[in-house]
Chain A
Amino acid sequence: MTRKGIIDEAMRVVLLCAGLASLSIVVLIGLFILRESLPAFHEIGVWNLLSGKEWRPGQGQFGLLPMIAGSGLVTLGAICLGLPLALCCGIFLAEIAPTWIRVVVRPSIELLAGIPSVVYGLFGLVVLVPAVRQIDYPGNAGFGLLSASIVLAVMILPTIASVSEVAIRSVPDEYRQGALALGSTRWEMIRRVVLPAARSGILSAVVLGLGRALGETIAMIMVIGNSVMMPTTMGGPLPGIFLSRARTLTGNIAVEMSYATGLHSSALFATGVVLFVLIMIVNSAARALMSRNVRGGRP
């Protein structure tokens, strides 16, 4: 074999190994968590775990519904607050901002992405919780879903903004020119041609944001109140539910893992599995959404 041939072959093997290694790490982690959680699934039952409203490890009650609701609601809140802002930010940076604004804003958004989540938690604790406490509502202590949603919205903003910016910028200029040449205003061009063309990229941005939101732990622990309870409106109107305390799936694991043993510990691993599955559902839902309009989109 020639020298070049050997290098070629060696590189192929190295890359293959790297690929296999990362795959096997994912599989191993999955298997490990699954194995640890098996006793819980076996003894408590999948349905009881998913639908149980009580989580009292001392009394052998392991219902994850309050945490599923907590994670779901706080993610919903964060997306509702953060997504519009982040998208506007991405559109602004990609399509509208003059260069000098772009060179100032883009690094600061990247900086935002680099701040450790515990710092966001501190910010929430010191600024948001007292502010939310001002809202006059029965049982409102400031700690709860609203504060957590706001913290989370800020945390996912940089991810969604920068990924969607990249997606929007990668839309070929020919589309823009075509749209403008037909007499579109700039906004019509953005809304009807550029954004639809960037749809799949924007959707991945949202999925990344969702993943980050579902997985966030420490900042949530600091501001959400951590009470194991089904979020409640406390007798008020529906939006009042966001003033309720709650606990997330991630928080559940992090708060209790240090002292859990036996079935309790296994139930926490099961919490991890539920989280894992939830993220997979979000991913595939996004994928399905992406392919739904494909006939009108990419071939």
Chain B
Amino acid sequence: MGTDAPEARLRTVDYSLFYGSFRALRDITIDIPENSITAIIGPSGCGKSTFLRSFNRMNELIPGVTVTGKVLLDGEDIFHQNVVALRRRVGMVFQRPNPFPKSIFDNVSYGPRIHGIRDRGTLAAIVERSLRDAAIWEEVKDDLQKSALALSGGQQQRLCIARALAVEPEVILMDEPASALDPVATMRIEELMQSLKQKYTIVIVTHNMQQAARVSDYTAFMMTDEERAGNLVEFGATKKIFTTPADRRTEDYISGRFG
């Protein structure tokens, strides 16, 4: 690693994942630097979501999943940690906006509340800060008691980002956070990510090549091999991946020759 490359925050070593006997990820080794945006790209079904869910152990919720190899957060094996504490440090925004059927306020204050903050004033401050950080405060500040389900899709997604921020995670995982959104909402979320990376380490899955090129600092390209297991083909600075990829398959995918 170069001297001015930031510290690796997330790291996997020979990491494989199996759905029952089906191997979905094969021997993935990667170092994801902190305070940066890393994009994971690749054809549909290559295991991007599966890989992303590995960082907060969400795959464990699926029966029959087994893993080999290591996933490290700040050098510590996440499988040896308390999963609840881990998910506090590694937040997630899902592909489909999934606000709870509660008020806007209750959605954002959900995390701090379960982590023990009771004081109404403190909660209100956290809610405002998170909504501001997620660039949705101006749109909702007049009625925080409104049901979150009454918001538009783009607003819901930003609310979900605010909800994740309220927990003050260190890493934020985003699985195609803009795939259900129009270009304007997408742009807002992209701007948002730029401002968030000062404080957080962000990993984002995207199908949109332009988006990856626009927003990310690093890009990981994944693809399935002959046995349909997802492999990490290439990982590096986004600029390099998009201009002078080392692997032929990366070049083909980026130039739209397959995928």
Residues of A within 8 A of B (CB): 172, 174-175, 177-185, 188, 192-193, 196-197, 294-299
Q: Name the distance in Å between A113's Cβ and chain B's nearest Cβ.
A: 29
Q: How far is the CB of B169 from chain A (nearest CB, A)?
A: 9
The docked-state distance in angstroms from the alpha carbon of A145 to that of B136 is: 57
Known contacts A182-B167, A183-B88, A296-B145; is A177 also within 8 Å of B110 by CB?
A: no
CB of B96 within 8 A of chain A?
yes
Measured CB to CB, the closest approach of chain A to B250, in angstroms, equals 30
CA distance A188 to B110 in the complex (A): 10
Give which listed residue, B56, B91, B100, B145, contacts A295 with CB less than 8 A: B145
A194, closest chain B residue (CB): B100
Identify the interface centre among B88, B100, B160: most chain A CB within 10 Å of its CB. B100
Given A174-B96, A178-B94, decide whether A185 and B101 contact each other with a Cβ distance below 8 A: no
| Nearest residue, chain B, Cβ from A294 | B147
Binary interface profile of B, 53-71, with partner A (CB < 8 Å = 1, else 0)?
A: 0001010010000000000
What distance in Å separates the Cβ of B114 from its nearest Cβ neighbour in chain A? 5
| CB-based contact A196/B102 at 8 Å | yes
Instruction: Specify the main secondary structure of chain A where it touches its partner.
Output: helix
The yes or no answer to B98 lying at the interface (CB within 8 A) is yes
Interface contact B98-A295, CB-CB below 8 Å: no
- B102, A183: Cβ atoms closer than 8 Å: no
Partner of B111, one of A174, A182, A185, A294: A182
How far is B145's CA from A283's CA once the two chains are assembled, in angstroms? 28
- With contacts A174-B98, A175-B100, A196-B101 known, is A183 near B58, CB below 8 A? no
Mark B residues whose CB is within 8 Å of A. 56, 58, 61, 84-85, 87-88, 91-92, 94, 96, 98-103, 106, 110-111, 113-115, 145-147, 149-150, 160, 163-164, 167
How many angstroms from the CA of A296 to the CA of B103 in the assembled complex? 5
Contact B149 A197 (CB under 8 A): no
Please give 14 more A-B residue pairs, beta carbons under 8 A apart, in addition to A185-B84, A297-B147. A178-B99, A178-B160, A180-B58, A181-B56, A181-B94, A182-B164, A183-B84, A183-B88, A183-B114, A193-B110, A296-B101, A296-B147, A297-B101, A299-B149
Is B110's CB under 8 angstroms from A192's CB? yes
Q: Which 9 A-B pairs have the closest CB atoms?
A: A183-B88, A174-B98, A181-B92, A183-B87, A182-B111, A299-B150, A178-B98, A296-B103, A299-B149
| Chain A residue at minimal CB-CB distance from B146 | A295
Q: How far, in Å, is B158 (CB) from chain A's closest CB?
A: 15
CB distance from B19 to the nearest CB of A (A): 17
Q: How far is the CA of A177 from the CA of B100 in the complex (A)?
A: 11
Given contacts A177-B61, A178-B100, contact A295 B147 (CB under 8 A): yes
A-B residue pairs in contact (CB < 8 Å), sample of 6? A178-B160, A180-B87, A181-B94, A182-B110, A294-B147, A299-B147
* Distance between B2 CB and nearest chain A CB, rounded to angstroms: 33
- The residues of B that contact A298 with a CB separation of less than 8 Å are 101, 147, 149
Q: Which residues of B contact A182 (CB under 8 A)?
A: 87-88, 91, 110-111, 114, 163-164, 167
**A199 closest partner in B (C-beta):** B101
